[in-house]
Structure 1
Amino acid sequence: METESLKDQLTENLDEAEWDWLTPHVEREVVIVVEPQLDLLAVGEAIALDNTASVQHWISEQLISKPSPERISEWNDQPKKRFQALIVQPFVLVQEMKAEGEG
C-alpha cells in the first residue's frame, strides 16, 4: 500500500519544465538526466525507495547521469526546450521531450 501512495505522490509531482526553469537546479548539481528508454516515474520510485541495485545498474548503463557540460551547453542554446521533470528530494529528475515535429 505504501508503494502505491508513493507512486501516486510521484505522479502528482510529475510536470513539464522548460530548460531555463531548470538551470538553477543544474547549478546546484542536483539534476539527473533520465534517458528516454526508461520510465521517469519508475526511476523516481527507485530513488525514493533507495533501490540501490536498480539505480547502480542504470548508472552503469549510462541510462541516468548528471548532465554533461556539452549537453548543458546545447540546452543553454535552447532555453525553451521542454522536459518532463520529477522532484525526488534532493534531486530533480529530467527527461527530454521531443520537440514538435521530431519523430
Structure 2
Amino acid sequence: MHENFDVEPDVLKAKIISETARINWLELQKFYASGSVVQVSAQLDLVEVAFAFSQDDKAAVQNWLQAGLVDRVSDAQAQLWVEQKAELWAVVISPWILVQDKAAQATH
C-alpha cells in the first residue's frame, strides 16, 4: 500500500476499514511460515496501525515494536491459535498481514 502516500488520510482509512475482516488463523499459516504476519496488540486500534504501516511511519511502528505492542507472530502464539482454531481480525498492508486477536483483550 505504499503507493497511497498521495491519498487523503480519511479515504485511505476508509479503504483499510473496508479491507479489514475476520479470518481463521489456519488460512494464514502459509503467510506466517513466510514471516509476513504481524501481531497487533488488542490495546491498539488495528486500523490506525495499518494506516501507520501504509504511510511507512517508521517512528510510530518503532515505538510499538519497542513497547511490545506490534511484533511478528511467535511460534508459541501461532501454535496456540491453531489449537484454539482462532479467528482474528486481519488486514493486508503489503508485504505484511496485520492480525489482531480481540478475544485476547476479553481475557485480560
What is the TM-score of this pair, normalised by structure 1? 0.90
From 59, 67, 89, the equivalent of 1:84 is 89
Query: Does the Cα contact within 8 Å between 1:44 and 1:88 map onto a contact in 2?
Result: yes
**TM-fit CA distance, 1:41:** 0.1
Query: What corresponds to 1:15 in structure 2?
Result: 21
Query: What corresponds to 2:3 in structure 1?
Result: none
Identical counterparts, % of pairs: 29
From 29, 42, 46, the equivalent of 2:35 is 29
Structure 2, gaps ≥5 residues long: 1-6
Structure 1, gaps ≥5 residues long: none
Query: What corresponds to 1:56 in structure 2?
Result: 62
Secondary structure (helix, strand or coil) at the match of 1:29 reads coil
Query: What corresponds to 1:96 in structure 2?
Result: 101
Paired letter, 1:25:
F
Cα distance between partner residues in 2 of 1:3 and 1:97: 25
What is the TM-score of this pair, normalised by structure 2? 0.86
RMSD: 1.7
**TM-fit CA distance, 1:97:** 3.0
**TM-fit CA distance, 1:34:** 0.2
**TM-fit CA distance, 1:69:** 1.3
Cα distance between partner residues in 2 of 1:82 and 1:69: 17
How many residues are aligned here? 101
Query: Displaced runs of 4+ in structure 1, greater than 4 A?
Result: none
**TM-fit CA distance, 1:102:** 5.5
The structure richer in helix per residue is 2
